[in-house]
Copies of this chain bind each other. A is one copy, B any other.
Amino acid sequence: MEEPTIIGQPFPQLDAVSLADGTAEFCSDIRLPGMLYGKILRSPLAHARVMNIDTSRAERLPGVKAVITGQDTSGVAYSYWVELLDTTLLDKHPLAMEKVRYVGDELAAVAAIDEEIAKEALELITVDYQELPAVFDPEEAMDAGAPLLHAKERNISVEMHLNHGEVERELARADYIREERFVSPAVGHCQLEGHNCLVSWEGDKITIWSATQSPISIRTHLSRMLGISPSKVRVITPHVGGGFGGRAEMLGFEYCTALLSLKTGRPVKTNLDREEVFSATRVRHPQVVYLKTGVKKDGTILAQEARLISNNGAYNGWGPVGLFLSTTFLTAPFRIPNFKCDSYLVYTNTPIGGPMRGFGAPQVRFAADSHLDGIARELGLDIAEIMLKNAIQPGDEHDHFNVTSFGVSEAIAKATQMANWKARRGNLGPARGLGIGCHIHESGAHRNPYMGFTAEVRVHEDGRVTLLTGAVDVGQGARTVLAQIVAEEFGVRLEDVVVARQDTEVTPLDHGTFSSRVTFWTGNAVKAAAADAKRKLLEAAAQKLEANPQDLVARDRRVFVKGTPEKGLPMDEAVSCYNLLSKGDTLVGHGFFSLPVNKINLSTGEGRHSSPLSSGATVAEVEVDTETGMVKVIRLITAHDCGRALNPLAVEGQLNGAVLMGKGYALSEHLCWEGGSTMNASFTDYRLPSAADTPELSPIIVESPDPLGPFGAKECGEGPLISVAPALANAVNNALGVRIKELPLTPEKVLKALEKARG
């Protein structure tokens, strides 16, 4: 293959200008004639039986066009991709049927001619509750006597008991055994665009514009819940102001908006306000992680026993999948030859957990790498050395991952080298420290044997192309990277590729933009589509050029004989050849990509991840103010193996964004729940780091081209977040000698730890 000219170049995003000048259309920009506004009535109680809902006063309010409650929903329930897993996991009604189970749970929905009237109507709805005892702590919720949320014997949605190797035997052989408990909090995604949607019916067909990461998920759910064919559900996603996993599934308000529109015969738009986004969409699962690890004197890991309690919140959402991910992400990027884990997904009367950047990994990698740092300190070894010693290597056999390429060792080496780790660690002066953490992620999970990834490339008469894909760009630049793949493969320039807007009615099926799938999965489909179009083009051009198709190359808007560039045709003439020879058929390339689908077992935790592994390491340098307990981050060096950086500018953007999000998770962010209520559901009270808090960032791109990746590419948007919290916790330990085992590392906790250490 020739050296790529477009792949590997740092192109700015195709949509950069329209995003910057405000002409880019977001869902909330769209208005339809006669449009109504929807609002949701939410429970103020964490746990209660709903005895009666009286909507009559609200219905009489002028300007109110419809009020719906659970009675109007025919009792349909939903969860995540239920069709692929156990439908007994379906536990959420879009509007409460008998009980509310968390503060924010949906009770009723209103459509009115404006948002003010809709809000006023909510206040006129009277709900009679019978309050029930609530439980907020997941470990308490597991107790036999705890108040039960659902009609189950215990508050455990899923439990998984994984057991590989001979853990007890190997622990008995260990030179050193360490046992610890780590805790991580709930945090919010903080997308700058709030959740919103607009629904319109035409006859028996519904169109929904939604700021979603997964149009197909909305299509699947609405189709099932409304009892209509998926062919009659059209989901359109304009530009999206950030996803981070918080838009990976249909939420109840989208179904309610559809129902309000159906009932009123008018388009309905619902915007969630920031308080609702924080308290009633999804949060990263809070977890308690118990680790017991046995190592040899030289730091070689022999065995690990874990117990993982994940707070599901009141309903499942993607929790069961998250539990599998957390459990398996404990087993990499380091070799743990004997591993045992008991994992529990526990219901509590708190907001619902869901996917969030790094899904399943940040909690356990914080625990595991803090734990490893403790082991290193105890053994008097360099943690970076231990990491390198135990790092998984390409080609390793693994119970849960296909290690087709793996660059964690190179990432550790590069990050520590840039930090001058060996020389500087321990020599930075008082209250300053260096720490390291590692991460791993997969390049998109895929578990649907009926639906792979498809793409279409249409070639115009001038040789320019349109790419049709169902993948959504959530701001990360997916459209740009996919266009680069097409341009490189088909032999045109980046500006010659138009990426059509996603619209489930017309663009090919795609699973959506979550689990870091776009570049790998959609990218492979897109590459195949461009290759298919090129194959047809070269066959036609070969006739004209009197050459063999396999001797032809398409490159920079020309088709020519390899090695004889002057013997060729401009792209538009080559397309004309195709069109004429085909008697006027359009030059279209079809692409499809999938890999064998591995089932996961939600009892045993058995099952393999679907796609190649990204990995990396963060080295953090901190200075702690021992008076205030404030952790000041001096520098974050993150090396990430993305297989191949198709667009280094975009990869660095992802690295920096992820690292900053990881820093917020590590140091300041957490949703404060009191009595089930979210006490800081605003950007004023929720401590999201601002641009002013940005330390020196040093992203390092590590490349280990994966044989399965398009041009070798793997994941890059989630992984780098994961290693930041353990790196910072370990840096604080390096600075102060204290170990904080609960995120975030707030000044209060630092001071408390210092006090405890002092005496």
A residues at B contact (CB < 8 Å)? 14-15, 17-18, 23-25, 29, 31, 33, 201-205, 229-232, 265, 448-454, 460-462, 464-466, 468, 495-496, 498, 500-501, 503, 505-509, 576, 579-580, 582-586, 588, 590, 592, 594, 596-597
Which of B452, B465, B576 meets A585, CB within 8 Å? B452
Q: Given A462-B231, A464-B229, A580-B449, A505–B496 Cβ distance below 8 Å? A: no
Complex: A464 Cα to B231 Cα, angstroms: 6
Complex: A642 Cα to B332 Cα, angstroms: 70
Q: Which residues of B contact A202 (CB under 8 A)?
A: 18, 23-25
Contact B503 A506 (CB under 8 A): yes
Complex: A148 Cα to B204 Cα, angstroms: 58
Complex: A15 Cα to B204 Cα, angstroms: 11
Contact A452 B500 (CB under 8 A): no
Given A449-B580, A450-B584, 9 more contacts at CB 8 Å?
Answer: A23-B203, A31-B33, A450-B461, A451-B584, A466-B506, A498-B505, A500-B506, A585-B594, A588-B590
Q: Is the interface of A mostly helix, strand, loop or mixed?
A: loop
Query: Whole-angstrom distance from the CB of A506 to the nearest CB of chain B?
Result: 4
Q: Which residues of B contact A265 (CB under 8 A)?
A: 23
Q: Which residues of B contact A452 (CB under 8 A)?
A: 583-585
Complex: A111 Cα to B31 Cα, angstroms: 22
Q: Given A23-B202, A500-B506, A461–B584 Cβ distance below 8 Å? A: no
Contact A585 B579 (CB under 8 A): no
**A33, A204, A576, most chain B CB atoms within 10 A:** A33
Complex: A97 Cα to B86 Cα, angstroms: 71
Contact A498 B205 (CB under 8 A): yes
Query: Whole-angstrom distance from the CB of A557 to the nearest CB of chain B?
Result: 12
Q: Which residues of B contact A23 (CB under 8 A)?
A: 201-203, 265
Query: Whole-angstrom distance from the CB of A548 to the nearest CB of chain B?
Result: 25
Q: Which residues of B contact A583 (CB under 8 A)?
A: 449, 452, 594, 596
Per CB-CB distance, the 6 closest pairs between chain A and chain B, nearest first, are: A452-B584, A506-B506, A231-B464, A450-B579, A229-B464, A584-B594
Q: Given A31-B31, A203-B17, A584-B448, A231–B466 Cβ distance below 8 Å? A: yes
Complex: A585 Cα to B597 Cα, angstroms: 13
**Smallest CB gap from A462: residue in B:** B229
Complex: A594 Cα to B201 Cα, angstroms: 36
Complex: A32 Cα to B465 Cα, angstroms: 27
Complex: A14 Cα to B232 Cα, angstroms: 13
Q: Which residues of B contact A465 (CB under 8 A)?
A: 231
Complex: A218 Cα to B583 Cα, angstroms: 23
Q: Which residues of B contact A496 (CB under 8 A)?
A: 229, 231
Complex: A388 Cα to B666 Cα, angstroms: 92
Complex: A33 Cα to B25 Cα, angstroms: 10
Contact A231 B586 (CB under 8 A): no
Query: Whole-angstrom distance from the CB of A493 to the nearest CB of chain B?
Result: 11
